[in-house]
Amino acid sequence: MAAARRVIDPELQGRLREVAAEVRRVLYGEAGCPEWGTRFREIEQDGMSAGLELARLVMEQSVSEQAQRMPVSATEVADDEVLLVRTKSSPLQTEAGTVSWEEPQAELKQGRKAFFPPTASAGAEDG
């Protein structure tokens, strides 16, 4: 099933047009287009491969950055101290491919139990 598309902000749309022109030059050389006679199916495969990789990179960078900006409130526990002790690789399969990021893991100092912040994770939505 294809992902739902949102309306793109006009400023972002303009930047994406510029990026698309750069991608075409990388794919097809200075001309920016495939040779005459190239079937549309091949052009579609090139475009979809580049687009899906862009989507995967946007998602991966976003969740990675989000994990690094965990709010202090996520580690507040009454009558105990939360110790960030490690990170855990969190891969997720998406329509664009596997997205991975390092998710912080913590333990309670007194309780010595694994602690997972009560906030929603960046993973798949509960359905």
pLDDT digits (tens, 9 = 90+) for 57-102: 999 999 999 988 888 888 887 888 888 788 899 899 999 999 999 9
Residue 7, in any domain of the structure:
no
* Number of folded domains that form the chain: 1
For residue 97, what are the β-bridge partners? Answer: 94
Return the amino acid letter for 105.
Answer: Q
pLDDT of residue 27 exceeding 60: yes
pLDDT of residue 122 exceeding 90: no
Tokens of 21: 């022109």
Task: Identify the domain containing residue 49 by its residue range.
Answer: 39-115
Range 21-36 average pLDDT: 96
Residue 121, in any domain of the structure:
no
Q: What is the pTM of this model?
A: 0.74
Residue 4, in any domain of the structure:
no
Residue 122, in any domain of the structure:
no
Residue 5, in any domain of the structure:
no
Residue 17, in any domain of the structure:
no
* CA geometry: angle 2, 3, 5, nearest 5 deg: 120
pLDDT of residue 120 exceeding 90: no
pLDDT of residue 2 exceeding 70: no
Residue 67's Cβ-count burial label (10 Å; 0-12, 13-18, 19+) is middle
Q: Which residue has the higher pLDDT, 69 or 14?
A: 14
Range 10-18 average pLDDT: 97
pLDDT of residue 45 exceeding 90: yes
Residue 72, in any domain of the structure:
yes
